[in-house]
Structure 1
Amino acid sequence: MDPVLDQVPTIDATAFKTVLGRFASGVTVITALDEGEPIGFACQSFASLSIDPPLVSFFPARTSSTWPRIREVGRFCVNILADDQTDMCRQLGRPGPDKFTGVEWTRSGNGSPLLTGAMASIDCYLYDEVDGGDHTIVIARVTGLTEHSEARPLLFYRAAFNRLGEQ
């Protein structure tokens, strides 16, 4: 037992979500092709990790049914969403089959779905995974970068989608 950890107070889950919800983040969709079928999930827990080597990270929930399928493929595309892609994000963020019905996409450089209208895309392959409590910490090696538009980003703040103000 660690005497310091024994003294750490219990943190209320609602308070945790409320306080951490004050941190605005961009919104991405992680996509791959599994036997020719597009698969993916919405993910606002995404960050750059390292320039040398070029690494990014994201944090899927352990309950995700899509991440294990993408893990098996081993390569994927991180699509950075624009502020007009809220509906697409909601559609791809829900569980179940047929999430890609009506979603336009092309193939990225590594063959993964690149969502039409995404601001930018990052092709990756799985580099490592680390335990992150009720989430998995995924570390991905970047193999390709594409900037698609100067659109404004879709943001997630206080448990809701938001947009940047006028500049």
Structure 2
Amino acid sequence: MQASRDGDQSLVPRAPTGPTPLQMREALAGFPTGLVLVTAEVESRVVGMLASSFTSVSLDPPLVSLNFARTSTTWPVLQQAERWGISVLGDNQAGDVALLSRPAGTRFEGISPMPTHQGGLVLPGSTVTLTVTRHAEIDAGDHVLTLLRVLGLERDAAQAPLVVYDRTTHRIAA
């Protein structure tokens, strides 16, 4: 908290200032990110969601991160699974984005994630697939920053990634 002197008066606190949530959303839409599908099997059904907050954290130990909104209804269900699959979507999967953006109950109709050797579920044809387990969770305001330990991964270098910029998907050259 910053304070200022009002003549010889005691320090008077000033309210913190900063961007509104809407201003943050608008500004950060100008930052291109990859798009991933996070999936798991919980009580014999596939659950998951799209995310654009995926990033590499550490090579040793192998860690990545995702941020989940506290308001998400899928996040508490994903937490029940020991292992997750992360599929980095490729440009060949642009048509799946609308399907994967549907409400949770119908999200995977017509979409068939495949199991990995390490126990995750991933979307075939993705640029990169990872099997992960939760390593740590960190309170991050209206989100939960989740650090994930990578148990296995594969990359299809011939596949170009799909990128989100200004809330729409774009293809880029590999």
Q: Give the structure 2 partner of residue 103 of structure 1.
A: 111
1:123 corresponds to which of 115, 124, 131? 131
Which secondary structure state, in structure 2, belongs to the residue aligned with residue 73 of structure 1? coil
* 2:32 aligned with 1:27: no
Runs of 4+ aligned structure 1 residues displaced above 4 Å come to 4-7
* Partner-residue secondary structure (3-state), 1:124: strand
Q: How many residues align?
A: 165
What is the aligned partner in structure 2 of residue 139 from structure 1?
147
1:118-146, Cα deviation, whole Å (9 max, x unpaired):
11101100111111111110100010011
Question: TM-score, structure 2 length as denominator?
Answer: 0.86
> Taking structure 1 as reference, are residues 54 and 91 closer, same or farther at Cα in structure 2, changes over 3 Å only?
same
Paired amino acid for 2:21? A
Runs (5+) with no aligned partner, structure 1: none
| Counterpart contact for 2:120–2:132, Cα < 8 Å | no
Partner of 1:156: 164
Question: 2:50 maps to which residue?
Answer: 42
Say whether 1:71 aligns with 2:50: no
The residue aligned with 2:23 is 15
Q: Which moved more, 1:37-46 or 1:140-149?
A: 140-149
Give the whole-Å Cα distance in 2 for the aligned partners of 1:37 and 1:110: 18
Secondary structure of the structure 1 residue equivalent to 2:24: helix
Structure 2: stretches of 5+ with no match in the other structure: 4-12
SS of equivalent residue, structure 2 residue 91: coil
TM-aligned CA distance change 1:10 to 1:113, over 3 Å:
same
- TM-score normalised by the chain length of structure 1: 0.89
Q: Does 1:88 align with 2:96?
A: yes
**Which has a greater percent of helix?**
1
Q: CA deviation at 1:149?
A: 4.7
- Report the CA distance between 1:67 and its aligned residue: 1.5
